[in-house]
Structure 1
Amino acid sequence: MHSSFRTPAWFYFSLAFGIAWVLWLFPMLASRGILPLGQVAQLACLFAGSFGPFIGAFVAVYRDGGWLAMREFAGRSLRYRMGPIYFLSAMLLTPLAAGLSMLWLASHGGPPFATGVSLSHFPLLYLELFLFGGSVNEEFGWCYAIDRLQQRHNLLRAAVVLGVIWGCWHIPLFFIVGLTQSFMPFWAFLIFTIALRVVIVWGYASNRKSILVALLFHTASNFAFNLFAVVDRSPQHDERGFIGFALIMLAVSLLVALTARCYRQAPTDSIATTDVDTSS
């Protein structure tokens, strides 16, 4: 099936950002005592806003090709056939990078190396993060976005641009008191989102645009933040753990960018076509 993009890219990004930023404005004001809003309502706004990319993608896909295009696009989340290297990378890369950073920190005056989740809780936590932790909310949108950006850029440049956009999409969260982002330096977070997006796009593009690969990478990233205390919420506010995590991911992304076949191939016009996956 051939499907050209009829929806302007700005329309998708306006929805992805607009839905998130408008809804996140309420908890941002509430956390600073400007707006009277209960904790449950704040969490509801945070959760609903995180679906901006998801909603934007499906609205744009419908405008591009109707229900058939939406069905094909959603079906890419079921493309489970992937090479072992991609599956292992999606599941283990970010937790290992976070663990390395915390090992280094423990040997340089930081807290003793420890995990914050018991082994028996791994499966349930992973499932919760997969379904409700941001992966589904975001990755359908960012996969649509990388397809759009590749119309004007080669794949690596598109991945870097999307990494910047992804990082900036989170900006309101940095102003919500007590939220994880409020304890991070934004410059390091931007390095992290660019690096992780380069790695996610590598998995996505190398496996027939499998949205499932992107979902697994995103979930493992969130899992790493729960497994290790890379973000220090204590009064000491030691940022070295997260900065180390971001720099390790940057090194990994550079290795991927220099060696991955998908980043060395000449761009083609295949980005404007959508393959029907009869196997899923």
Structure 2
Amino acid sequence: MHPSFRTPVWFYFGLAFGIAWIAWLFPVLASHGVLTLSPAAQLACLFAGSFGPFVGAFVAVYRDGGWPAVREFAGRALRYRMGFVHFLAAMLLVPVAGGLSMWWLASHGGPPFAALVTASHLPLLYVELFLIGGSVNEEFGWAYAIDRLQQRHRLLHAAAWLGVIWGCWHIPLFFITGLTQSFMPFWAFVIFTVALRVVIVWGYASNRQSILVALLFHTASNMTFNLYSMVDRTSRHDERGFIGAALIILVVAAVLALTAHCYRRPSDAVVSIETGAKS
């Protein structure tokens, strides 16, 4: 059955964007010489803003169904039972796509193919990125968002729209000097966010709305940017490595859009938050 959402969807997106964009405004202004921020203050603003989707989701869930709904929603991050294929995709899809793209780039005038992180450092890096690198900060929010968007759209359309929204949520970061996004072409970033969101929603919807699946996908994605020189920070601005990885993921997303059961079933079969349900 469909739950009763008491919170207007604009309220959630207003919080998710408002918290992020207000916090990120200060580093944007500092990057353009309007004010001065210490490195610690800039990091604090970036970190605080990244929790916009998280805060927005839990405020909205509480408004929808009180503490029982909050417990059910938070409990989805503990749904560790998932399909083996979904688990492999969550852990390896983006790293493999990034590796293939950087290997291709190395043979077409790019830097030599090499990993930037040793195997011994990967576990710690993964844990850091999982907890404070954006995964927890964002994926609870995007889980709530997909539940709301599929009220009016088929799941595939909702996932694609959320990918666009996800990309646009990052817009201020493109104007902060030195951040990864400031070196990327925005159009390629949106291709990446749409394609990856279609894949993440596939894993999420195929495993009883497991937020843990989404967390694993997001963490592996962020780890890939630490594992390879995916973004060219030099004056050459050769972003073929990132664009290539985005296109590989787009191909995977297209295959899933055509074949995945969750994207082919009728829209009234999709499930959302069930207030008070057990995980």
* Bucket of the pairwise TM-score, normalised by the shorter protein: over 0.9
Quick one: distance in 2 between partners of 1:148 and 1:77?
Answer: 18
What is the match of residue 217 of structure 2?
217
Kindly report the root-mean-square deviation, in angstroms, between the aligned alpha carbons of the 2 structures. 1.4
Deviations 1:8-34 (A, max 9, x none): 000000000000000000011112221
Quick one: distance in 2 between partners of 1:2 and 1:56?
Answer: 21
The Cα shift of 1:259 comes to 1.0
Q: Does 1:77 align with 2:87?
A: no
Quick one: distance in 2 between partners of 1:194 and 1:75?
Answer: 26
The number of residue pairs the alignment matches comes to: 279
> Partner letter of residue 63 of structure 2?
R
The Cα shift of 1:275 comes to 7.4
Unaligned runs of 5+ in 1: none
The Cα shift of 1:4 comes to 1.1
Distance change in 2, residues 1:124/1:272 (3 Å) = closer
Q: Does 1:130 align with 2:130?
A: yes
Deviations 1:160-202 (A, max 9, x none): 0000000000000000011000000000000000000000000
TM-score by length of 2: 0.97
Distance change in 2, residues 1:61/1:258 (3 Å) = same
Distance change in 2, residues 1:86/1:210 (3 Å) = same
1:11-22 map, 5 Å: 11-22=11-22
- Structure 1's consecutive aligned runs of 4 or more residues displaced over 3 angstroms after TM superposition are 269-273, 275-278
Quick one: distance in 2 between partners of 1:76 and 1:273?
Answer: 10
What is the match of residue 248 of structure 2?
248
1:63-74 map, 5 Å: 63-74=63-74
Contact map agreement 1:76 1:277 (CA 8 A) in 2? no
Quick one: distance in 1 between partners of 2:120 and 2:275?
Answer: 39
Contact map agreement 1:150 1:158 (CA 8 A) in 2? yes
What is the match of residue 173 of structure 1?
173
Contact map agreement 1:231 1:239 (CA 8 A) in 2? yes
Question: Alignment partner of 1:268: what SS?
Answer: helix
The Cα shift of 1:273 comes to 5.0
TM-score by length of 1: 0.97
Quick one: distance in 2 between partners of 1:277 and 1:120?
Answer: 40
Quick one: distance in 1 between partners of 2:179 and 2:144?
Answer: 27
Contact map agreement 1:126 1:219 (CA 8 A) in 2? yes
Question: Alignment partner of 1:23: what SS?
Answer: helix
Contact map agreement 1:159 1:194 (CA 8 A) in 2? yes
Unaligned runs of 5+ in 2: none
What is the match of residue 4 of structure 2?
4
> Partner letter of residue 217 of structure 1?
F
1:85-234 map, 5 Å: 85-234=85-234
Identity over the aligned pairs, expressed in percent?
A: 75
